[in-house]
Structures are given as C-alpha cells and as structure tokens.
Chains A and B, each alone.
Chain A
Amino acid sequence: MSYLEYNVKTVPTGFRKVLYLNWPLILLLIAVSSIGFLMLYSVAGGNINRWTEPQMQRFGLGLLAMFIVAMVPIWFWRNVAALAYGVSLLLLLAVEFFGVTGMGAQRWIDLGFMRLQPSEVTKITLVMILAAYYDWLDPKKVSRPLWVAIPVILILIPTGLVVIQPDLGTSILLLAGGGVVMFLAGVSWWYFGTVIAAGVGLVSAVFTSRGTDWQLIKDYQFRRIDTFLDPSQDPLGAGYHITQSKIALGSGGLSGRGFMQGTQSRLNFLPEKHTDFIFTTLAEEFGFMGAFSLLALYGLIIFFCIASAMTMKDRFSALLVYGIAAAFFFYFAVNMSMVMGLAPVVGVPLPLVSYGGSAMLVLLVAFGLVQSAHVHRPRGN
C-alpha cells in the first residue's frame, strides 16, 4: 500500500472535489485559450466560422474531458498508465499504415469526427508511464544502469516512431519531456552529462554526414537548419517562413498595430498563420505588451503546476505534474523560439492557441490529470 492509498481518508469525495480543483490554473487555461480564439478570429479576417468556432467547440469538449479526468482519482490514472502508453504506441504504429499525409508527413488518423494526432497523445502517455515507473521503482535503484535502460527504451520507442513520420519537432519534445521526468526522479547527473556530450557528438555527426550516402536527416531539414543559421540566404525560398515571421513580429512594436490591423498576417505574408505561426499575429497586432502577456500567462501556468507539485507527497502525482508542466513548457518555448528566429522551424504549435484539435484535447486532458493529482493529494495532516 502506497502512501497515497494510506492517506486516502483526507482526500475530498463526491462533488466536494469541485471545490478543491486548482481554479487559478483553470482560469489561466481559459485566458490563454481565449487569446487563441481572438487570434484565430483575426487571422481568418474577421470570420468566426473558419477557425474560431471549431476551436471553441474543441475547447469546450476538452474542458469537459478535463473535469471528468480531474474527478477520477489519481491512482486510477496511475494504474492505467501502462495501458495508455501501449495504446498510444499502437496508434503511432497505425499512423504508419493508415495515416493521413499532411505537410509532407504522416501525422493523423482520421477518426471520422476528428483527426487524431497520436504523437500528441504520446507526449502525455509517455510522461504517465515514466511517472508510474518511478513510482513503482525503489528510489534507491533509479541510477542503476538496468533501471535507467528501461525508461530510456520507453522514451526511444515512441520517439523513433515519430521521427520516421517524419516529425522532428514532436520527437524532440518527447525526448525532452521524458528526459525531464527521469531527471526529476533522481537519475544521476552523470547520465545526463553523458547524454548531452553524446548529443553534441551526434549533431556534429549529422553535419559531417551531409551530402554523403548515409545522410542522417532529410534535405529539407538541412535546409531549414541552413536558413535558420542565415535566413537571408534565401529570403523568398526556404528562409521565407522565418523572415516573414520576424518581420511581422518585429513590426508590431511596443503596443502593436491593433486588433485585426496586422498587415503582414492579414495580407498572407505569414505561412501557417493559424497554426504554428499564430504567435506572430499576436505579436504584430498587440505588440510587445501582448506577446509578453502571453508569455507571462504561460509562466503562471507553469508556476501553478510547480506550486501544486511541491505539495504532493505522492511520487506518481509529483512526477506527473512536473512532467506535464515540462512538456507544456517545451511546447511554447520551442514554438516561440522558432517564430522569433532562435530555433529552426520544426513544426511545433503554440499550446492552447494554435488551431488544432488533437493538441487542444490532449493538453486539456493532461491538465485534467494535473487537476486530479491536485484534488486527490493528501492534505490536512
């Protein structure tokens, strides 16, 4: 019997659980999503039906899912973690065979009512299985090679499946999210030092492989790296996204051009303006104040997650909440770096703001888990 079950008496029951939800976090999620609705309305040129309405429906559905997940005791989620992970692996395999190709990669499974991106689901199930694994594992063994190898394999299987889609952005997020959970669980610093050293070696290997028969990444990815390093090389070709994105962002100035007044996004200079590059529209129309506010809201979401995790004595809950917060962080950090020209364009959406059903639902379900951990944490004594 774990600590959690031992202290179950102190956990609220029934509808009283609602009172114990992490309400500030919910309000923050609604605030960020609302910014998303506004921006989708703006980039659609004042058309609410194009992107805003479906996004709002998904948000409603996701919010409902979040409440349901939050009401279910956290130990239930711990017990189904392995199952969820297995299902998400199967979905990733399915996408290889039945997937719909979009933007040059196989990423979706068409479920009829929505297109599911299994790679998005995997981000959460990976954190769940790792948290459950370390909850089960004797903390004294976490740094032993065998017990380190197991979570590494758990991370690498989905990462590998996503890389071959190919979806470099998501695979980096999976790797980073999994790594953070391992770090939190107390795996020795040495392992991370070694991995980082190996990573640096790998990057140099990738670059030396360029142009040879055993080239490790695709040409378009090389070109994206090239144009990331020097977008001026090809401002109307491969560097177009970055250049246009920076122009839109920078031209916003301090207070922006005003809602619906962004010329760059309005005039279609921006690529994927409703998905990966939606932040540029926000930055153009609301300027530094708008862009920084969104960053601050994201920061507060992370803060409330961490603050909640700090109070959790249960190992699964704590690791899960830290892990989800980290995954969420990687989302917006990579996206913002990308549109501001600090990172290559790898195709990561801005969480809760970019148009996209899978990411929205998966994130809200993940925050449902955070809420469940929050509600069901032992308290009082």
Chain B
Amino acid sequence: MKQSPKDIEENARVVNRRGLVVGGLQLAFMGMLGLRMRQMQIEEADEYRLLAEENRINVRLLAPPRGLIFDRNGVIIADNSQNYRIIIVREDAGDVDEVIGKLKELVTLDEDELERAIREMNRRSPFVPVTLADRLTWEEFSKVAVNSPALPGITPDVGLSRYYPLKDDFAHVIGYVGPVSDYDLSRIEDPDPLLQIPKFQIGKIGVETKLEENLRGKAGSKRIEVNAAGRVMRELDRDPGTPGSDIQLTVDARLQNFVQARLAGESAGVVVMDCENGDILSIGSAPAYDPNLFVRGISSADYNVLREDKYVPLRNKPVQGTYPPGSTYKMVVALAALEMGVLNPDETVWCPGHYQLGRRRFHCWKRGGHGHMNLSDSLIQSCDVYYYDISQRVGIDRITAMANKLGLGVRHDIPMSAVTEGLAPTQQWKQVRRGEAWRVGDTLNASIGQGFTLASPLQLCVYTARMASGLNLEPHLIKTVDGVALYPDPPEKIDINPYHLRLMRDAMDSVNNGSRGTARGSRIVMEGYEIAGKTGTSQVRNITPAERAAGVIRNEDLPWERRDHALYVGYAPRDKPKYAVSVVVEHGGGGSRAAAPVARDILAFAQFGEVPPLEAYPTSQRERIRTMYEAMDLKDPRPPAPGRSRA
C-alpha cells in the first residue's frame, strides 16, 4: 500500500493527538495516586501509625505468684515451688528427633509425656513453645542448661507451681489447686483474663478455692513485639503484677501432723479448737491423700484408687461427714431441761435397762440397767433411760433450740468446701421433709443422739468448746490475710446459765476422772493437764427384736461398715478449759474404747506442745503408749528460720 507523505503526516498527527490524550489521562491518574499517597502518608499518618503499633505490640499476661498459706506459727503449708521445665521450639530445633535423642542422654524423659508433647508440637505452629518435660531436679536442669548450645530449640525454663510440703496432713484443711478447666471457666461469670493462661492453677477445693480471690493476685503483663503469625520478636517492657495475699491459718501444723499420725489406719474425723477464741487448731480427716497429686491434674488411675477406697479418703470427714452424735448429745438435752426449769439436778430416775413407751420398748445400752440415776450419774455412766424420761418433759423443739444455740444443726462459716449443716430435727422438719407427724418415740431417739439427729465433728467441737468456755465461740480457720487479723473481737458470753454449764463440766470431768466414768481408761493423770469429756457410741443399724433375743452381736463380729461409730467430745485442762476436741472414728466400735484414747492423746499433745511425757498416762498404760509413740513417724514441721527469704 502506497501512502503519500501528506497522508503519513496526517496519520501521525492523529496518533500523536490521541497519544497526548492518553498521556494526559495517565498524568491525571498519577496525580491522583500522588494525592492519595499524600492523604495517607501525611494527613492520616498518625492514625495509621497508631494502628501499626497495635498490630505490632501484643500484651501477654504474667501469672502473679499465688499467695502462700502458713500455719499459725509461720510454717509453710502451701508453697510455690520452682518448676524446672524444658521447653522446645520446633522451628529452632530443626531435626526434632535428633534433639530429643540428645536430650535423652542427659535426662530421663517420661515416654507418655514425650508422646503428648510431640503431638502438641505437631499440632501447633512451629514457633510455639511446648513443654517437653517438667518437674526436673536441679541437677537435671543444670545439665540441660550447660549443654543448651548443643541442643538447638531447647530452653530450660523456670515457672511457679503449687507445692504442699506437708503432703497428706493438710489435704483436707486447705484443699488443692489444679489446672483451670473448661468447667471452671463455665462457672465463672466474668473470668479473670489470667484464667486464659494454659494450665493456670486455681483453687479446686477447700481454702484454696474459697479464698481464691485473695490468693490469686493481680495479673501482670508484658508487652512484646510480635509478627503477624504471633511469633515473639522481643520483649518491650513488663509489669510483674501483684502477688496473691498470704494467708495464715489458725491451724497448728505440728498438732495437725500429730492428729493425722494418730489417726493412721482409721477412718475418722477430728477437730481441735481453742476454747478462748474459736481458732481451729487442727482439723483432721483420715485417711487423707497427697494434694500434690492434683496440682498438675490427677491421673485417672490415681483418682480411681482414691475414689474406690472404702475409707473414702476424698471426704473431708470433720466438716462434711455427718454422724448420729449418740451419747455426746446428752448434754444438749440436759441443758435444755435445766434452762427450761423442768429438771432438778438431784432428782433421780430409775433405770431398769429399758423404757416402756406405750407398746414400744426403748433399751438402755446397759442391759441390766443403771438403777437410780441423777443428772450427774446419768452423764458419767451415760444412762439412756434417764434421757428418755426427761426429753419428754422438754419436747423436741426445745432440745433442738438448745442444740442450735450450742452450734449443732447450724452451718458454721469456715472456708472449706461442702461444710455440712448436720441435722437437729424439729416437729416441723419432719412434717415438711418426711410428710409425717413427729412422734414421742422420735423425741426419745433424739434424746440419745440417734434417730434423725446428725452432727459433724466440727459441730460437736464447737458445742463442746461453748460448753467448756461459756463463750459463744465461732470456729475460725483463717487467722490473718496479708498480715491483717480477721477476727480481732473477743467472743461474747453464751446465753446459758453458767451454773448449768458448770454442772455439765463437773459431770464430764467425772466421765474421765471419776471412778465409774465411761472414759476413765482415757484419763490424764498429771496434775493440771487432766481432761474432761463425754463418750458416744452411735448405731448405724437397727437392732431387731430377734437379734436382741439371741443376744446382741459384738461389734467386733460385724463387718466393718456395720459397726458402731465411736465418738468422744472433750476439753482440757479440766479446770481452765483451753482446748476442745471432738473425735469420730467411723465404725470404730465403742466411744470409750476407740474414740476417747485418740482424743486424750490429742489433748495431751495440744497441752504439752509436743509428744506428751509418759508420766501423763496411768502407769498401767505407759508401756503400750510408749510403743505407740515410738512407732509414730512425726514430721515436726517448724517455721523457716527468720531471715530466710520467701521462695
């Protein structure tokens, strides 16, 4: 095709004209891009820079050290131990198998734990630290630390973990902590962000959970620079948070240790209180368990062993266990009658060994009967018929009112889990709960602490302490929080005629020290240390008339779980009560035989502040007592020497 130069010029002009249009549009667009840059980078720069900071900086929570728990003398009961761990970062390790192989030459790794860690590692991003092993010894830890240059991706790390140095002794007193669970989170309405920390330890039971808010402390934080994938680049600053409050219990660790040791082999609950202020000095439950098992989450094998034990080690018997109080309840009935004015302490009731109520016959524990009984005799010899008689004069509702006044049938406010209310029945209670009218026979049963009546060792101890001191004592488990005393006010007098209380104490004195007392075998003979108390034996089965005809079966011949509960409540010293005690030995047989000796040893230890001297015991018992104490393995926990810094 031939074109003239003129056409060519013309066509080129068209192209250039349109080229300039395109170029102009391009320039305009570039101008707009430039303006956009200006808008974002100059006018809105501050805004974007703020967003960039937020992107870059991540706030991580720091777990504050949990408050420590001490006994009344400063012995550490719940400590925070250094937990030496080995942490691995897959990305830094390179060949994980090789690194773990090298690590195995230095420390023994638990295979299950290792498998779990490897699974976790493969599931998470390669830069997430995973705990490979924890609870290392210092020696193992330092071996790893020294060799860390040869172990890429391995970091030795120190964290805090709850540790209970006294193990079983305080399992039931303070409970335990455990890793926070989904269930825990679902129960809490406004969860503390701390709970989001994996495996964060919170109180699960007992003081540890009841005082969780005090013990936990306030979360600290550290600001770290992260990238979009969440990998930590560096730490910018940190705020360590506020450590949890330290808590001091009223409990005496040495006494507690003795109580647990003395209860070894039994299924029992014991409470020791200070009669002057209500401090719980010991609260024993046997058998116990090692709370350290729960700290990292208990294995199901360990848990099943505890759950299937017929002695129920997981039950906190002194506060959760309820038992028919048996004869230990008789002072309630006596005081109710005295306060009501329907009982003269000197009048006598004839005990032929049974009591006839209409067509029903109520038996005294002594088949032959006690003969003439006055108030004092009825307590010393624990005559049942006497109480069958006087309880009818008082009526169940007044008996129960007196029980409540003495601390029975009411829930005491101490920071433990599932503290029981027990049961002091009333006519109304039976009507509402059982749908039946109260009958006189029920009152008779209640008068000797049987039938519907139920009490926990804690309640029995409060009751005893109130009688012994004449004070309206409340039980206290916590002495101070962060050094501040919780109950500075002295207790008030109880609203019971002191003379009537005096009568009770005199009778209880004779129970141990009188020639015919049921607990005479468990007396202390050293002057100034004598104890006073009341035994109880409560049936857990009904004795059928046929059985009775064939002769009552001896407790020893029954299977364990059908034997009677043995109870004892008492105090010492008898003249100026300082310590009150209650002992319930489940299915232990008779109170005088199974419970009173335990209570005697505990009261002796409490008074002497150490293993009591043999001189405190009747001569004939000394050899047996000596053997018993020698076999006992006491820990003798002492407070740390002053000046030792907190762990």
Contact = CB atoms under 8 A, between A and B. Distances in A.
B48 A247 contact: yes
Interface stretch (A33-41, A65-73, A249-257, A367-375): A249-257
A275 interface: no
A303 to B, nearest CB: 8
For chain A, give the interface size range.
35 or more
B478 to A, nearest CB: 47
Contact of B30 (A180, A295, A326): A295
A138 B1 contact: yes
A267 B58 CA distance: 12
Contacts of B227: 266-269
Nearest to A342: B36
Give the residue among B9, B42, B228 with the most A Cβ atoms within 10 A: B228
Interface string A217-258: 000000000000000000000000000101111111110000
Contacts of B12: 312-313, 315, 318
Given A139-B11, A180-B22, A252 B45 contact: yes
A288 B41 contact: yes
Interface in B1-33: 1-3, 5, 7-9, 11-12, 14-16, 18-20, 22-23, 26-27, 29-30, 33
Contact of B40 (A319, A322, A340): A340
B45 A253 contact: yes
Contact of A250 (B1, B23, B27, B49): B49
Interface string A312-355: 11010011001001100100010011001010000000000000
Interface string A286-324: 011001100100110011001001101101001100100
Contacts of A186: 11, 14-15, 18
A264 interface: yes
A327 to B, nearest CB: 11
Contacts of A136: 1
A288 B225 CA distance: 25
Contacts of A249: 37, 40-41, 48
A318 B9 CA distance: 12
B42 A315 contact: no
Nearest to A4: B8
Nearest to B47: A250
B56 A264 contact: yes
Contact of A292 (B3, B20, B37, B226): B37
Contacts of A342: 33, 36
Contacts, number: 145
Interface residues of B, number: 45
A184 B18 contact: yes
A3 B226 contact: no
A187 to B, nearest CB: 9
B549 interface: no
Nearest to A302: B26
A310 B16 contact: yes
Contacts of A326: 22, 26
Contacts of A325: 23
Given A264-B55, A333-B29, A250 B41 contact: yes
B40 A246 contact: yes
Nearest to B9: A313
Contacts of B16: 309-310, 318
A247 B37 contact: no
A356 B591 CA distance: 92
B52 A318 contact: no
A315 B45 contact: no
B484 interface: no
Contact of B38 (A138, A268, A288): A288
A366 interface: no
Contacts of A165: none
A315 B27 CA distance: 23
A246 B48 contact: yes
A183 interface: yes
A269 B30 contact: no
B23 A306 contact: yes
Contacts of B26: 302, 326, 329, 333
A185 interface: yes
A288 B38 CA distance: 7
Contacts of B48: 246-247, 249-251
A248 to B, nearest CB: 7
B631 interface: no
A318 B15 contact: yes
A251 B40 CA distance: 8
Given A267-B233, A288-B38, A309-B19, A250 B45 contact: yes
B33 A244 contact: no
A72 B226 CA distance: 54
Given A251-B52, A299-B27, A283 B41 contact: yes
Interface string B564-588: 0000000000000000000000000
Contacts of B8: 3, 313, 315
Nearest to B55: A269
Contact of B22 (A183, A298, A299, A340): A183
Contact of B228 (A268, A295, A302, A322): A268
Interface string B468-491: 000000000000000000000000
A183 B22 CA distance: 9
B51 A247 contact: yes
Nearest to A305: B23
Nearest to B56: A263
Given A264-B52, A322-B22, A298 B42 contact: no
Interface string B223-248: 00111110101000000000000000
A336 B36 CA distance: 10
Contacts of B1: 136, 138
Contacts of A2: 3
B34 interface: yes
B18 A254 contact: no
Interface in A1-20: 1-3
Contacts of B52: 247-248, 250-251, 263-264
B33 A333 contact: yes
Contacts of B229: 268
A340 B45 contact: no
Contacts of B37: 249, 283, 288, 291-292, 295, 340
Given A298-B30, A315-B15, A288 B42 contact: yes
Contacts of B11: 139, 186, 315
B384 to A, nearest CB: 77
Contacts of A268: 227-229, 231
Given A246-B40, A254-B41, 18 more contacts: A3-B3, A180-B22, A184-B15, A184-B18, A244-B55, A250-B45, A267-B228, A269-B56, A269-B227, A288-B41, A295-B37, A298-B30, A299-B27, A315-B11, A322-B15, A322-B22, A326-B22, A333-B30
18 contacts: A3-B5, A3-B8, A247-B48, A247-B51, A251-B51, A254-B41, A263-B52, A268-B229, A269-B56, A269-B228, A283-B37, A288-B38, A291-B37, A292-B37, A306-B23, A315-B11, A326-B22, A333-B30
Q: Which 8 A-B pairs have the closest CB atoms?
A: A250-B48, A267-B227, A251-B52, A288-B41, A253-B45, A269-B228, A268-B227, A251-B49
